[in-house]
Chain A
């Protein structure tokens, strides 16, 4: 009987995000048809380059759902990449233990930040800013040079980085030289997409996931309803840093290098992606699929600017800025409309 009101403003925001992505991509396909923008591989490349960001954005969404924020992720990725590059490239350690080490660092990093935010009630912005400085500083302490991981240094890691997973043959197309191309993805894409699916499941179907929404919706109420607000926050930050470390490994596989200046500002990309995907900074509202499309939009803008070739790459930033404004204004308008109605 009230079918129409079923689509609430949050769902509508998500739909707008998805529609925007499709429109943007379609425009790209029409304008840059000759440059091969409409090839499936272009889309897959967006996924490949942004696999790390996607993992980070998933974690960021979880933290933002509680009404918090985690700006340490960019630096943490730089530190992860540096540990991997230094460990394999300089010290020649085997890669599996190093990867486990990086993941453990993520857990510990999250544990400390989450404890300070959840149990000592410190502003998440300040805590994760401290984390940001710490991780960036540690990166430089490990090594100030730009390091890279070569095939000689670690053949296994190198082979993962260059491994192509081909899609079925019928998706193949002829490139400009008339040669058959079969589109492929990298293992990192599978990792990132699994993260999206798992986090989606966690958010929708587990007690912890719903507690994230409840804490963001009304912390005092969540407490009175018997939820453990402190441990929920702690877990959210652990999850964020852990996913960030997974993202760091993806990032390392993509770049095969480590340097102090790596992934600068990545935390802002992650926040932007979440916001464009419909996550509210005030908490309680958001979805991981929204963030997926946020990342895709982010990637598409970059690719469009790159494909053009003549534009300064900074135009991507300006486009992101415009989009952010657009979505935040949209959210406010929806909130106002809702207020009017009630």
Chain B
């Protein structure tokens, strides 16, 4: 049973216009294993999964599934589901307006003899199902009353109950906090014991080592290898994903970014927004990189929103270069030289139908007003310089942003703010969901800007990343700034500061 093969994809190739997205890729999933699928952005993870579940057609290769003699081809996700291959995405694909029980059973509701839906039976079955999986919710409540983590678990429960043999989890942990992630892991291990094969796509290395048995690595649309977790130390995994040595990562120790300038760029005293963040003090010098750390929901985003004026501060004062700034709306902050890269990439206004160039010049144009149009030549110049500087991988500057990969889209937003030449730039999780190579580039860029005199506030969930870039860190806990870490910073010091002395 242990080594029984559940699903194999062999020699799969897929071409998009102009790009070979998958080239002779293979993956083998066994019963009762959690199989990590790793790779940088653009490595072909999503494409592979979409090919498997019938979202995309593929040109070469074959997919074999246990229980079918012939190779299978799924034409639609529903067809894949019927064969027992179910995907749970980061954005939960359930109906938030229906009850938990309905979400579990819609489309296959238990019926009474007269042919109408038997609600009592449906609720009972749902309760039993969720109890088996150790999920404690009231099944009659509407789904939207529950957290994203619970919603994901409900989606998984639905998959399990539909006799799913192969469960694909596509970056399920990106929006979850630690506690929720560990709950999800418990559920995943539980399913592993039941013989379900799980393909787990994630960017978080720790999570791979915490829960997975085997790893398949893709690189540039090609198969880079399959390993057991035991034989694959972190360093080697990263090296395999990048296809090069990772000296790069170490080479960007925070040297030379130590700010020797005493000019204070931004200073906040007693700034606060009722309901989201308690009054806090904050200052940043010219050319300094300050990190804001804390758990998800600890007030990191709320603090910078308050600084930026996205949430109107009800108390305290904010000084920018010594002058009091009364920002009523973000446009005031932009005009005084602030930039803010929010954490929600989709909602923050990348206009996916517009080209890379148009997206880049957007903020600058907005600051100039409608009547002072930037000359086209100037726009070309700006766009080209940022494409080169940030290594944005795009066919041309006129390519619609929607065709770019996630990491490159993120760079486009960054370019948008950089071309307004902000003195003070806030980056909220700029590296979330992007691959390690791009992350490294991002960190280098941040340091470069700082050395040119820009003050940067940097938020990241990955402490290592902040250790490499920041000179100082603000620690947030439960909607309050609880302290700052200065001087010597190690992972342990930061972790214990976040945890607040409690046993972690």
The chain A residues found within 8 Å of chain B, CB to CB, are 2, 5, 8, 201, 204-207, 210-211, 213-214, 216-218, 220-227, 284-285, 338, 342
Establish whether residues A205 and B117, one from each chain, have CB atoms under 8 Å apart when the complex forms.
yes
Residues 63-88 of chain B, each 1 if its beta carbon lies under 8 Å from chain A, else 0: 00000000000000110010000000
Establish whether residues A207 and B97, one from each chain, have CB atoms under 8 Å apart when the complex forms.
no
Tell which of B101-109, B282-290, B364-372 binds the partner. Answer: B101-109
A-B contact count (CB 8 A): 70
Establish whether residues A213 and B93, one from each chain, have CB atoms under 8 Å apart when the complex forms.
no
Task: Give the docked Cα–Cα distance between A211 and B108 (Å).
Answer: 11
Establish whether residues B93 and A224, one from each chain, have CB atoms under 8 Å apart when the complex forms.
yes
Establish whether residues A226 and B98, one from each chain, have CB atoms under 8 Å apart when the complex forms.
no
Establish whether residues B81 and A284, one from each chain, have CB atoms under 8 Å apart when the complex forms.
no
Main secondary structure of the interface of B (DSSP, over half): loop
Task: Judge whether B142 is part of the interface by a CB distance below 8 angstroms.
Answer: yes
Establish whether residues B97 and A217, one from each chain, have CB atoms under 8 Å apart when the complex forms.
yes
Return the contact of A210 from the options B77, B78, B117 (Cβ within 8 A): B117
Known contacts A8-B142, A210-B109, A210-B117; A225 and B97 CB within 8 A of each other: no
Task: Give the docked Cα–Cα distance between A211 and B107 (Å).
Answer: 8
Establish whether residues B78 and A226, one from each chain, have CB atoms under 8 Å apart when the complex forms.
yes
The distance from the CB of A215 to the nearest CB of chain B, in whole angstroms, is: 9
Establish whether residues B93 and A214, one from each chain, have CB atoms under 8 Å apart when the complex forms.
no
Please name 12 further chain A to chain B contacts, defined as beta carbons within 8 Å, in addition to the given A205-B117, A285-B97, sorted by A numbering: A5-B141, A207-B117, A213-B98, A217-B98, A218-B94, A218-B96, A218-B97, A220-B93, A221-B95, A225-B158, A338-B144, A342-B147
The chain B residues found within 8 Å of chain A, CB to CB, are 77-78, 81, 92-98, 102-103, 106-109, 116-117, 119, 138, 141-142, 144-145, 147, 158
Establish whether residues B96 and A224, one from each chain, have CB atoms under 8 Å apart when the complex forms.
no
A residues near B94, Cβ cutoff 8 Å: 218, 221, 225
Establish whether residues B78 and A213, one from each chain, have CB atoms under 8 Å apart when the complex forms.
no
The distance from the CB of B378 to the nearest CB of chain A, in whole angstroms, is: 39
B residues near A223, Cβ cutoff 8 Å: 78
Q: Give A205's nearest chain B residue, CB to CB.
A: B116
Known contacts A5-B145, A226-B78, A226-B81; A213 and B95 CB within 8 A of each other: yes
Main secondary structure of the interface of A (DSSP, over half): helix
Task: Give the docked Cα–Cα distance between A23 and B356 (Å).
Answer: 58
Establish whether residues A216 and B117, one from each chain, have CB atoms under 8 Å apart when the complex forms.
no
Establish whether residues B77 and A224, one from each chain, have CB atoms under 8 Å apart when the complex forms.
yes
Return the contact of A225 from the options B96, B107, B138 (Cβ within 8 A): B107
B residues near A225, Cβ cutoff 8 Å: 93-95, 103, 106-107, 158
Task: Give the docked Cα–Cα distance between A276 and B98 (Å).
Answer: 21
Q: Give B77's nearest chain A residue, CB to CB.
A: A224
B residues near A206, Cβ cutoff 8 Å: 116-117
Establish whether residues B117 and A214, one from each chain, have CB atoms under 8 Å apart when the complex forms.
no
Task: Give the docked Cα–Cα distance between A8 and B97 (Å).
Answer: 11
B residues near A211, Cβ cutoff 8 Å: 106-107
The distance from the CB of A225 to the nearest CB of chain B, in whole angstroms, is: 5
Return the contact of A214 from the options B98, B142, B158 (Cβ within 8 A): B98
Q: Give B115's nearest chain A residue, CB to CB.
A: A206
Can you identify 10 A-B contacts, CB atoms within 8 angstroms?
A5-B141, A205-B119, A211-B107, A218-B95, A218-B97, A221-B95, A223-B78, A226-B81, A285-B97, A338-B144
Task: Give the docked Cα–Cα distance between A270 and B103 (Å).
Answer: 30
